[in-house]
Structure 1
Amino acid sequence: MKNTYNLFIVLLLSVAIISCSTKKGTDTEKVTTANVKQVVEKEFNYPIPTSFEVTTLLQDADAAFVLDITNPVENVDKYETQRDKALNLGIYGADLSYASTYNMNEQTLEFLDASKTLIDGLDVPGIFTEDMLVRVQENMDNRDSLILIVTESFYNTYEQLNKLGQDKLSFLVISASWIEGLYITTQLAVSSNYDERIMAIVAQQKGPASILVDTAEKYKDDEDIQAIAPLLNFMKLTYEGVDPAVGITKGQLDDITANVESTRNEIVD
């Protein structure tokens, strides 16, 4: 389906941009949210933010890295169904973007390992190879290269899922990744005493919420997607009354924070 395919591409398009800016041995342009967003908006009418984009916005807003808001890697072994594995691959994907953007090496490795466990459980071949893991180890102190490697790994995941005819699993990954990114953002907004820059990032997620709901509607016969459709609808309703151009109030942020936390907990618990 074209809309679903576009969602995949929006998530993955940052790979090409990052790749162009991190080639070895050359003077490179800095990887920024602005150039990711520029290319995405040029190609598509309804961009959904990548995890990289959201976490870079958070770092630009001087938000601190807070470890205990991510999904504990110890949880990975309790995800047994294909649906739970795909959803929590999205969760850990957002956590991985968060950790690598902030150059948190230990956490990056832990989230990579958790993601590998879920990818192996989904029978997606050729993603976290020995060569890829060696590249991660060799580039732990090079933030841009690390982001490139991490993003490439998820690009390959989505590509492989699509090749295997598993676009529905890809949608589950994308949806959960967006939910986790929003959850992290709201937690940081509250802990920063309602920093207006972080609140603005939360307000900007109204559009993606609608996009995900509309796309889920196209899979009315799929049991797994319909299982999370109420969660996506709940988040869309949470944004009623929010105007991203104006921003959000503290009360609106508190509502979104509480609702995305309960939505996220439905996935990770």
Structure 2
Amino acid sequence: MSDPMHEDAAARFDPLRPKLMRVAYRMLGSVADAEDMVQEAFIRWMRADRAAVREPEAFLRRTVTRLCLDQLKSARRQRETYVGPWLPDPVVEEEDEEDVTLPLMLALERLSPLERAAFLLHDVFGLGFEEVAATIKRDPAACRQLATRARAHVREARPRFRIEKERGLEFAEAFFTASRSGDMKTLGAMLAADVSVHADGGGKRAAAIEPIIGFDAVIKVHEKLAALFQAHGSKLLRVGLVNGLPGFITLEADGELQTTALEIEDGKIAAIYVVRNPDKLRHLH
């Protein structure tokens, strides 16, 4: 027989799961790890004295944040040995209501775990510093300082202006067509002079070990890639927002998925982010 108390606990938890996932994913940059943290929070919720919990959402947000802070310590050690550029797991067609784009998530990687938590909870999720303090077990003044330091580090990663969504998706589709067909003239007209390419293969699929910087270098790489695409194929599966940026999902010749996200500034592509590591793409299947 089912336990009515457990059923009630699960019913109270399930509506909060998407919010908790947003917190965990932005803390960790990994969909699988975020799911693990939320599931662990669920287990702790089921074991808790729920009658003593006045605000389940605050209780669970604190639990998830603290679990993520612990997880970040081991994640940082793993990233020290990561092969090539590290990019967060791609999340496609998210509502992006918190305005956390891929460049901002990369900037968050440079923060300490506590700075990251204070910034996300206060600046992104809109919590007061009293609540932030209760969550990360620091006093409000210390949390204010953490958020201020974080803000200074990530200011440059904030988009100066957002490209309108439909225009951005048209840009992404045009980029796919030009890059796969070998139309370097059209492709070149879309690129900024200091454009960069960041490809995350994680040592599991071919990808540049270092970012590729500058117009000439990026065009040269795409000339070589276009020949491969034409010989072996690259199928467009979906155009959409990838971590808040215009982009697309493709099925590549090796039978694996790939995501491409485009950072667009002043009508030109300033950065191209490609995720090829199959471990980071499993949730998209």
Indicate the TM-score class for this superposition, using the shorter chain for normalisation: under 0.3
TM-score, structure 1 normalization: 0.27
Greater C-alpha Rg: 2
RCO higher in structure (CA 8 A, sep ≥6): 1
Larger proportion of strand: 2
Larger proportion of helix: 1
TM-score, structure 2 normalization: 0.26
